[in-house]
Amino acid sequence: MSETYAVVSEGSPTSEDINLVRNGLGHYNRETGGLANYKDLTLFIRDVTGQTVGGLLGFTIGTWLHIEILWVNEKIRRRGQGAHLLHRAEEEAVARGCRVADLTTFDFQAPQFYEKQGYERFAELSQVGAEHTVHFFRKYLTASLA
């Protein structure tokens, strides 16, 4: 008796389904790849009233820091807050044993910002959306950050 399966697209997936997929891959990574110590990395910039005006979302696993999102509200951009946020994430990652970081950014976002922070562009994907390019960056971290 053979089983049949269907691939379905869900506009509003349950958190249980999302966690099942994430945890399944996490288990595989630990068991097969020896990639342990997955931990979310979340940092926020808050103003004096406690409102969030920026943040960084990512994770660390093994010796890798992956930055998924870095956002700073327009009213405080170009004041060093993004650099401070990124540096703080790198410090935390080094403290967790990380040696390399990566992130992506669109051509209209902040590729020059990341280059100024010591990130190296190692790949790109063109013709994304309305003819934009996604840039892939990496940075080798050192213990001097911690």
Question: Each residue of 52-103: pLDDT tens digit?
Answer: 999 999 999 999 999 999 999 999 998 899 999 999 999 999 999 999 999 9
For tokens 């110590």, the residue is 37
Amino acid at site 55: G
Whether the per-residue pLDDT at 145 is higher than 70: the answer is no
Measured distance CA(90)–CA(69) in Å, rounded: 14
Residue 29, pLDDT score: 81
pLDDT attached to residue 35: 80
Distance CA 48, CA 37 (A): 34
Element (H, E) at 19: helix 15-33
pLDDT at residue 124 is higher than 60? yes
Judge whether residue 144 has pLDDT over 80. no
The answer to whether residues 132 and 84 touch, using CB atoms and an 8 Å cutoff, is: no
> pLDDT tens, 16-42?
999 899 888 888 888 888 787 889 999
pLDDT of residue 22: 85
Asked whether 58 and 102 are in contact (CB, 8 A), the reply is no
Please tell me the total number of residues recorded for the chain in this structure.
Answer: 146
- Which pLDDT value is given to residue 37? 84
Phi, psi of 72 (to 5 degrees): -130, 130
Structural domains of the chain in order of their starting residue, each with its CATH number: 37-145 (3.40.630.30)
pTM of the model: 0.84
Residue of 112, 60, 108, 59 lying closest to 83 (CA atoms) = 112
Three-state SS for 56?
A: strand
